[in-house]
Each structure stands twice: as structure tokens, then as C-alpha cells.
Amino acid sequence: MTAPVARSRTPGLRWPGLPGTTESRILALQFQYAQTERWPAADIEAWQFRQIEALIAHCERSIPFWRDRLRKAGLRAGQRLTPQLWSRLPILTRNEVQDAGEDLRPEQLPDGHGQVFEASTSGSTGTPLRMIRSELDWVYWDSINLRQILWQGVDLSAKCAIVRNVRASPLPMPEPERHPDWGTAFAAFTTGQYILVDIRLPVGQIVECLVREQPALLSTFPSTAGLIARHCREYGISIPGLKSIIVYGEVLTEETRLACRDALGIEVADAYSAEEAGFMAVQCPLHPHLHVMSEYSRVEVLDEQGVACAPGQVGRVVVTPLHNFANPLLRYHVGDYAEVGPPCDCGRTLPVLSRILGRARDRVRLPDGTERTPFFGAPQLYKVPAVVQNQLAQVGPDTMEYRLVVRRPLTADEEGSLVAAVRRGLGHPFQVRFRYVDAIARSPSGKYMDFVNELDSPPD
């Protein structure tokens, strides 16, 4: 890795660089993160509560929705928070956020929080949201973005390629959009060029672009990384210069990790975030699991009784962003499930999430009503190279439909191996039918799900 070189904002000063105000803030946060990520867990929690106390005071003063909710829970400004007091506050649901709308927003921000910006989610949980974020919160967001890049040892001086949906263009852009640097999060450093590649292009064109452009870093959805890797394996293509892949926005499956490792020789790094809640966790530099970004948000993984999950247990993800005073979300259930992991041996004391399991509504439902996470045989799926894209859908209490985009029809043995993997992975002898399709639709934002439960919400 080439050592990052600071970019100077002062005329005549080239080295060592002297950053501007925003860049200095981001660098100051990096310095603090290097200390806090190794603090005792009790100290991290204590300072999280100190920050939440300030957020509560703001909510009580400026937002009637929160004033009423906090009062009913017995929480008030000036009160020293404890885990017991904090657990009194009811979980905030996505539907409540949608219904409250502007009632969750203050009339005025505290001094120093800057302008506000509107953002919207893709509606991937079935409930689209419109949120606002403060300029100051974006500084924290950018600081975590930089942190994950530094953790993964990415060469900032190289070219970066991002493959995602380009909403500003009604039709797929045939050529990449070019930018001279990596953007605000990396403005403190001298960086390479950044190109934006339209995710709506056929995968072959995306790969041709990457081969031509030779980026060192690729950032995209896990499903797109998997498509790129499988295309490269099928046609014996390598992408010169590519050293790192960072994915976000969807559940990263083991099949995608295997594909990128085998076809591209690259270990994928994961990031867990939500448009309305920001960064929640990023992958450890040494292991596949993720570390919670405790300086940015308080993340709780709770069982159905609201009790914190122990390592090895799966629960719903409840998050409290610590710095967005423009649209506070206190104990917000993002709609996902995650598995808690044991403490990490990398030396960082930040909490561990072993796996992000995806949306609450897209869990397998067994005929007896039991729900479970949809793991259905990624290694076996990867052994069938004819499969370009796949999606498993629960279409009946005892029936799964395997939707496949393929290069050729599967043999009876190949279909049989996938059926066996589904039954073994889901722990039930489901009936499995196959449907071969030309494409599997993505959401408007370009996201894609490898499992969907259509028992309660059949497709249009």
C-alpha cells in the first residue's frame, strides 16, 4: 500500500499538507477512532450515553413527537442514562417513522450543525422513507467511509470504480462518469481518479469497462460483484490492477465471497449501512466479521423479548444514530436481523456482528410457523457454473421456487444437487420447483435480493 499523502488547502504549502476545515474535522475523527476502537466496552457505552443525553435534550426541547415518547418512557433531559433507563424507550418502527414524517424533525438545528439535506431509501423493506440529514452528520458519515478504506489498506492514490444505479440518467450510461478524485470523504488526501459505472449495463459491458479502466478498488452491491466474478470465470477474464472490492447495500452471501476469491483472487470487504441510519458496521481488517461503528451509532441486537443477544444468537437490529439532530431516530428497528459475534482478536474492542442476515420480512417460514434465516447452500450453488444469477422465493407454506438465469439448461443432477442444498440448508423437505428466466429484477436503486418471501406479499 502507498502511504496516504495529505492534500494541502493552503497556497504554497505542498508537504506536509495542511487540510481545510472539513478535512481537518475528518482527520481529527480518525485520530480519535484510533484510540476509541480499543477502549474498554464499558467506556464506549458510557460515552455513547453521554452523546445520547445531548440528543435527548435536543429532542425534548425541539420535537413534540419525541417529547411525548420520552416522557411516557420516564426519560427526560438532564437525566444520566443507564442501560436500564434506556431499555424503557419503545423500539421505533419503520412504519412509525413513515407516519410521523416531518413531526420527527426540529424547527431549528443547534448552532454548528450546518445545512440539511434530504435523502430517501429504496424502500427495500417495503416501506420507503424520506429523511433529512445535517451537514455535520455527513462529516461523521464521511469519516467512517474513510475509516473503512484505511482499515482495508486501499491505495488512495489509485483509481476507484463505483458500479451503481445512476438516477440522474433515465437510460443506462454507456460510458463511465469521470471525477478527478474520490470525493469529500477523502478530500484530506491526494487520491486517484474515481469513475462511476452504470449498474444497468449488461455485465459484459461492465467487465469490459473495468478491464479497460483498471481500477485498484471496486465498490458496488454484493450481487453485482458476484455477477462480475462469475462472468470473469466463465470467459477467463482478469481485471488488471484490481486489488480490493468493498460491497454495501445488500446481504453479502458466502457464494459471492467464493466467486470473487476464485475468479478474481480478491477477498471481499463488507460494509453495513442504511440510508436513514448511516454506517452501522464495517468489516474487520483481519476477519470476515464486522465491527460496529460505536462512535457513530449505538447498535443493539435484541431478541423477541427485547433482551440483548449473546454471541451466537440472532436478533433484530436496533440503531440510534448519535449525531443527526436534523432527524433523530432513537432505538430504530432498521428491519434487519444480525448475528452477534464474540470479541475479536484483532485488538479492537468494538462489538462484533458475525453476519448480517437481511430483512425481517424475508425470512423462511416453516409450515409450523417457525421462522429462520434463509441459508440455502452457497458452496453447492457455486459448483454449478451455468448459473449466472439466482433467487429463491418462498411461494407457498411448503414450496420454494428457484428462479435462475443460466447459460445453458441445468442437468437433472445439477437441479437435484440444488434441491438437496436448499432442503439441507433450510432444515425442511420443501418442494422446490425451477423457473428459468431472462433476468431477475432489481429495486429502483439497483439492489437485488437472493431470497424473497412471497407468502404475504405476492409479486404484481
Strand partners, 406: 387
> Residue 205 contacts by C-beta under 8 Å, 6 or more apart in sequence?
174
Torsion of CA 44, 50, 55, 60, to 10 degrees: 140
Q: Note the pLDDT of residue 349.
A: 97
- The identity of residue 66, as a single letter, is W
Q: Is 213 left (phi over 0), alpha (psi -120 to 50) or beta?
A: alpha
Distance CA 276, CA 238 (A): 37
Distance CA 425, CA 419 (A): 10
Distance CA 352, CA 372 (A): 21
Tally of helices (H runs) and strands (E runs) in the chain? 11, 20
- The identity of residue 359, as a single letter, is R
Q: Note the pLDDT of residue 458.
A: 43
Distance CA 370, CA 269 (A): 32
pLDDT per position as a tens digit, 301-348: 999 899 999 999 999 999 999 999 999 999 999 988 999 999 999 999
Q: Note the pLDDT of residue 30.
A: 96
Cut 0.75: pTM above it: yes
- Domain annotation for the chain: domains and CATH numbers: 1-360 (3.40.50.12780), 364-453 (3.30.300.30)
Distance CA 361, CA 313 (A): 18
* φ, ψ of residue 315 in degrees (nearest 5): -150, 175
- CB 376, CB 392: distance < 8 Å: yes
Q: Note the pLDDT of residue 202.
A: 87
In our burial notation (b when 16+ CB lie closer than 10 A, e otherwise), range 22-54 reads bbebbbebeeebeebbebeeeebbeebbeebbe
pLDDT per position as a tens digit, 165-174: 877 767 788 9
CA distances from 225 to 34, 142, 250, 286, 446 (A): 30, 23, 11, 21, 13
Instruction: Let me know how long the chain is.
Output: 460
Q: Using 50, 70 and 90 to split pLDDT, how confident is the model at 217?
A: very high
C-alpha cell at 276: 436513514
- CB 259, CB 233: distance < 8 Å: yes
* φ, ψ of residue 256 in degrees (nearest 5): -70, -40
Distance CA 199, CA 203 (A): 8
Higher pLDDT, 375 or 280: 280
**Strand, coil or helix: 253:** coil
For residues 59-76, give the mean pLDDT: 95
Check whether 375 has a pLDDT greater than 50.
Answer: yes
The answer to which of 43-47, 178-182, 422-426 has the lowest mean pLDDT is 422-426
Q: Note the pLDDT of residue 373.
A: 63
Q: Using 50, 70 and 90 to split pLDDT, how confident is the model at 215?
A: very high
Q: Note the pLDDT of residue 36.
A: 97
pLDDT per position as a tens digit, 410-420: 999 999 999 99
Average model confidence (pLDDT) for the chain? 89
Distance CA 432, CA 419 (A): 6
pLDDT per position as a tens digit, 71-99: 999 999 999 999 999 999 999 998 899 88
The closest of 7, 29, 48 to 144, measured between CA atoms, is 29
Q: Note the pLDDT of residue 125.
A: 44
Among residues of the chain, what percentage have pLDDT more than 70?
Answer: 91
pLDDT per position as a tens digit, 105-134: 998 899 999 999 887 665 444 456 778 899
CA distances from 241 to 112, 162, 211, 234, 244 (A): 42, 15, 9, 20, 9
Distance CA 439, CA 96 (A): 35
Distance CA 293, CA 352 (A): 10
Distance CA 295, CA 48 (A): 7
Q: Note the pLDDT of residue 1.
A: 52
Distance CA 198, CA 200 (A): 5
Distance CA 94, CA 90 (A): 13
**Strand, coil or helix: 314:** strand
For residue 366, count other CB atoms closer than 10 A to its CB.
15
Q: Note the pLDDT of residue 230.
A: 87
Q: Using 50, 70 and 90 to split pLDDT, how confident is the model at 240?
A: very high
212 CB-contact burial (10 Å; exposed 0-12 / middle 13-18 / buried 19+): exposed
pLDDT per position as a tens digit, 185-197: 999 999 999 999 9
- Please count the CA atoms within 13 angstroms of the CA of 59 that sit on its side-chain side: 26
Q: Note the pLDDT of residue 388.
A: 81
